[in-house]
Structure 1
Amino acid sequence: MLKTILSISGKPGLYKLVSRGKNMLIVESLVDKKRFPAYGNEKIISLGDIAMYTDTEDVPLKDVLTSMKKKENGEVVKMELKKATADDLRAYLAEVLPTFDRDRVYPSDIKKLISWYNLLVKNNMTDFEEAPEAGETAEAKTEAAE
């Protein structure tokens, strides 16, 4: 699911990939449901490709979002982001991801993470685990049978 949710640099919010055109993507805003083209010269990244820095190795965003979902029982984060201090944001992320790298993860990153999570929850997109590919399930069944 996260592979089809996009962040576009310079544009607020998140976007769902609707279709692919020649040299562009057709995306739909999760905020207002408007559709528009996103071109190759814009910095577009899939949430499935994002990871958070930790003290050991990078943790995929899906794992962080899943941890947030468990902490919040599937509800939105009730933190007032505009009034939250850097210490408030770091304390929240420490509850969700205790080993996050305090030097490389900035308060603005944590705000963006929380706003993305809230937007996904409001749009009922809380299945953060990637569904295995059809080929992977066949391989897993073969291995299990052996």
Structure 2
Amino acid sequence: MNLEKVVAVSGLPGLYKLVTPRNNGLIIEDFDTGKKRFISIRQHVFTPLASVSIFTQEDPEELNTLFANMQAKAGELDADGALDNNQDLAEYFGEILPTYDRDRVHIGDMKKVVKWYVFLRDHHLLQGGDEEE
């Protein structure tokens, strides 16, 4: 899966497809509606998911690897149920990435990663390897 074109935008819910960068912002596309809009770099912070990694006891782990682990364990672990409470979330995260750094990876980080995974899964963006619309 290619996470280069998937961005999180501060102040906006969900994830967006990067259409094109501009010198003063980005043009993004909503995965739900398909509407494109310009977002100013002065008002928002953009985070391409490809640049996000999770601290582990060794080297940081990229989201691609983490999402692949989540997909592989989808039959035995429930990502949606993990968001119910913090203890379930920490246990779920420990199952998909046993070596995560428990001092530097906080519950909020775990929630964000699981929500991103659920969003990508529900929008069928995890299947098919590197191809992207």
TM-score, normalized by the shorter chain, greater than 0.5: yes
TM-score where L is the length of structure 1: 0.77
TM-score where L is the length of structure 2: 0.84
Kindly state the Cα deviation for residue 35 of structure 1 after the two structures are TM-superposed.
2.2
Query: Judging changes above 3 Å, is the alpha-carbon distance between structure 1 residues 62 and 98 closer, same or farther for their aligned structure 2 residues?
Result: same
Kindly state the Cα deviation for residue 40 of structure 1 after the two structures are TM-superposed.
1.9
Q: How far apart in 2 are the matches of 1:130 and 1:49?
A: 16
Query: Judging changes above 3 Å, is the alpha-carbon distance between structure 1 residues 76 and 11 closer, same or farther for their aligned structure 2 residues?
Result: farther
Q: Which residue of 2 aligns with 1:68?
A: 70
Query: Judging changes above 3 Å, is the alpha-carbon distance between structure 1 residues 62 and 129 closer, same or farther for their aligned structure 2 residues?
Result: farther
- Within 5 A, what are the aligned runs for 1:95-134? 95-127=95-127
- Within 5 A, what are the aligned runs for 1:7-26? 7-26=8-27
Kindly state the Cα deviation for residue 63 of structure 1 after the two structures are TM-superposed.
0.5
Q: Per-residue CA shift, 1:5-46, capped at 9, x if unaligned?
A: 001112111010123344221111224433211222221010
Kindly state the Cα deviation for residue 129 of structure 1 after the two structures are TM-superposed.
5.4
Identify unmatched segments of 5+ residues in structure 2: none
Query: Judging changes above 3 Å, is the alpha-carbon distance between structure 1 residues 89 and 11 closer, same or farther for their aligned structure 2 residues?
Result: same
Q: How far apart in 2 are the matches of 1:17 and 1:76?
A: 29
Greater helix content: 1
Q: How far apart in 2 are the matches of 1:118 and 1:2?
A: 14
Q: How far apart in 2 are the matches of 1:111 and 1:128?
A: 25
Q: Per-residue CA shift, 1:26-83, capped at 9, x if unaligned?
A: 111224433211222221010001000111110111110111011115x9723162xx
Aligned-residue CA RMSD (Å): 2.2
Identify unmatched segments of 5+ residues in structure 1: 132-146
User: How many residues are treated as equivalent by the alignment?
Assistant: 128
C-alpha contact (below 8 Å) 1:76/1:121 kept by paired residues: no
- Within 5 A, what are the aligned runs for 1:84-103? 84-103=84-103
Q: Which residue of 2 aligns with 1:27?
A: 28
State the identity as a percent: 30
C-alpha contact (below 8 Å) 1:14/1:31 kept by paired residues: no
- Within 5 A, what are the aligned runs for 1:32-47? 32-41=33-42, 42-47=44-49
SS of the residue 2:7 aligns to = strand
